[in-house]
Amino acid sequence: MLAVERRNLILEELQKNKKVIVSDLARDFEVSEETIRRDLDRLDKDGLAIKSYGGAVINENASIDMPFNVRKKNNIPGKQKIAELVSTLIDDGDHIILDPSTTAVFIAKALKDKSRLTVITNSIEVIIELSDVSDWNVISSGGRVKEGYLALVGPHAVDGLGQYNVEKAIISCKGIDINKGVTDGNEQFSEAKQTMIKSAQQTILAVDHSKFDNLAFSKICDIQNLDTVVTDEKPSDKWLDIFDSMGIKCVYPQ
């Protein structure tokens, strides 16, 4: 097993249990404890974990992004619920923008029974997911590949996204806060999502329940820039009142 594969599996364990023990990992992976300590050193250096005596705990800073392949396995039932609800908001023949979030991949899968969609995206994973759909128009934003994210970023990606006018932009985020708005962990992603919002008649925020009352590094937009919020659990009465006062539709499993 490559070291990067082992570290990703350690990250999955951290996301599941919030902590790991060196001796347990060494036994499970059949490597020395020193090898595991080096793995944890790397994860600590990358800001993904915090070393502790005999192991490590997950870094729960909302501005820290796990690798795409790790995030994709997190809260799969919630993402599937969100994807199913988003699919009810998309009509045959719509032009939509999808961001490079892991939730967007589940949404792309859920939309496959639709006809004649045009999808613009800076997500490599979404492009791959939709590569076998025959009657759709799937358009890449172009741009530079961001390592570990399966996303296209940079000026060319932003320019590419801004070339189109669509009915709906579907974005995700790292946090949504009453005062600070919708935020993400990386300014390159925030800039691209701002362009997506400007290019769309409607903005749909697809976000799981854990993102409410979280604050990440880079602002995407104010809450009032949203038209619809789709989430996997019923939000608190506080949030429902906020959405209602701003005329934002909130969709969640009934």
Three-state SS string over 114-146 comes to CCCCEEEECEHHHHHHCCCCCCCEEEECCCEEE
Q: What is the pLDDT of residue 13?
A: 85
Helix and strand numbers (H, E) in the chain are 10, 15
Residue closest to 195 by CA, chosen among 175, 173, 169: 169
pLDDT of residue 220: 97
Provide the residue-wise pLDDT of the chain in tens; the chain has 254 residues.
Answer: 888 888 888 888 887 788 999 999 999 999 999 999 999 998 888 778 889 889 999 887 655 565 556 565 567 889 999 999 999 999 999 999 999 998 999 999 999 999 999 999 999 999 999 999 999 999 999 999 987 788 999 999 999 999 999 999 999 999 999 999 999 988 999 999 999 999 999 999 999 999 999 999 899 999 999 999 999 999 999 999 999 999 999 999 98
Cβ count near 226 (within 10 Å): 25
**Predicted local distance difference test score (pLDDT) of residue 157:** 96
User: How many Å apart are CA 92 and CA 137, to the nearest integer?
Assistant: 12
Buried b (16+ CB within 10 A) or exposed e, 77-96: ebbbbbbebbbebbeeebbb
Going along the chain from its start, the domains and CATH numbers come out as: 3-60 (1.10.10.10), 75-251 (3.40.50.10470)
Please give the Cα distance from 113 to 246 (Å, whole number): 32
Q: Whole-structure pTM over 0.85, yes or no?
A: no
212, 176 contact by CB (below 8 A)? yes
DSSP state at residue 10:
H
Specify whether the CB–CB gap between 228 and 204 falls below 8 A.
yes
Distance, CA of 92 to CA of 178 (rounded, Å): 34
Q: Do 194 and 162 contact (CB within 8 A), yes or no?
A: no
